[in-house]
Amino acid sequence: MEQALSLSIKNWKEDDRPREKLLNKGRQALTDAELVAILLGSGNREESAVGLSQRILGAANNNLHELGRFSISGLMRFKGIGEAKAIAIAAALELGRRRRVEEALERFRVTSSASVFELMQPVIGELPHEEFWIVYLNNSNRVIRYVQLSKGGITGTLVDIRLAMKTALELGATAIVLAHNHPSGTLTPSDADKKLTQKIRLASESLDIRVLDHLIITEKSYFSFADHRIL
């Protein structure tokens, strides 16, 4: 009983308690573990919320991007993490990801393959399955919208090119950028990647819409068709 009481955050000095620390010193003063501990609210009989958070982060190599890939069931494997706490963690990390995407989109103008990677990596770079997206641009190369066209593969049967062109016309797009991820981490384009790129390029040309690039995206890097002059 005495050990359980000593682990309780309520018994810590006020400046050491995550919630009070946030109020008194600001969000930036907290460690990742302390921020996660606020989401948890409590730990278990052997460790405080901060201790539990440190252990969870340790399992993710202290990397929030990696933690964001944990499933609900994966989070629930930690003692003291039930479904509600697991959902709270997953929701908070998803909000952070969406905030990063929205901030990028507000100021986004495509100027290079690197700028497309900056936009799309948070969207598809860490997924365990393939997704194919199209970024629609205006005549200043500013992003109008980006849309998922397929999930689970990018063969011609799964990507609806007519729908892609219909969306481009509805948005008034004058250019597009193609992007899909390779969960395996390989950056080499497959024959299917190349064939689909050419099909979309030909369809776009007939509507006077430019295909500026096609990016293969992984967690930390990318391959650009335009940079390698195979578009």
pLDDT by residue (tens digit) across 60-89? 999 988 898 899 999 999 999 999 999 999
Number of structural domains the chain divides into: 2
Banded model confidence at residue 13, pLDDT cuts 50, 70, 90 = low
How far is 216 from 224, CA to CA, in rounded Å? Answer: 7
Mean pLDDT value across residues 102-127: 83
Query: Do residues 186 and 118 share a domain?
Result: yes
Query: Do residues 49 and 134 share a domain?
Result: no
Contacts of 164 (CB under 8 A, 6+ apart): 134, 147, 149, 176, 200, 203
Give the structural domain span for 209. Answer: 109-224
Question: Is 57 part of a structural domain of the chain?
Answer: yes
Mean pLDDT value across residues 174-181: 96
Assign residue 181 the CATH number of its domain: 3.40.140.10
Question: Is 202 part of a structural domain of the chain?
Answer: yes
How far is 144 from 154, CA to CA, in rounded Å? Answer: 23
Query: Do residues 145 and 84 share a domain?
Result: no
How far is 191 from 155, CA to CA, in rounded Å? Answer: 10
Query: Do residues 144 and 206 share a domain?
Result: yes
At residue 155, the pLDDT reads: 47
Question: Is 230 part of a structural domain of the chain?
Answer: no
Contacts of 79 (CB under 8 A, 6+ apart): 44, 46, 52
Query: Do residues 121 and 96 share a domain?
Result: no
At residue 151, the pLDDT reads: 85
User: Which tens digit of pLDDT belongs to each residue from 29-61?
Assistant: 889 999 999 999 888 888 888 999 999 999 999
Instruction: Tell me the two tokens of residue 166.
Output: 């219909």
How high does pLDDT run on average in the chain? 87
Query: Do residues 85 and 133 share a domain?
Result: no
At residue 201, the pLDDT reads: 94
In this structure, what are the phi and psi dihedrals at residue 210, rounded to the nearest 5 degrees?
-85, 140
How far is 146 from 105, CA to CA, in rounded Å? Answer: 10
Q: Quick check: 16 pLDDT over 90?
A: no
Query: Do residues 62 and 132 share a domain?
Result: no
Question: Is 231 part of a structural domain of the chain?
Answer: no
Type and span of the H or E element at 22: helix 18-25
How far is 116 from 130, CA to CA, in rounded Å? Answer: 17
Q: Quick check: 215 pLDDT over 60?
A: yes
Neighbouring C-beta atoms of residue 218, cutoff 10 Å: 19
Query: Do residues 18 and 78 share a domain?
Result: yes
pTM of the model: 0.58
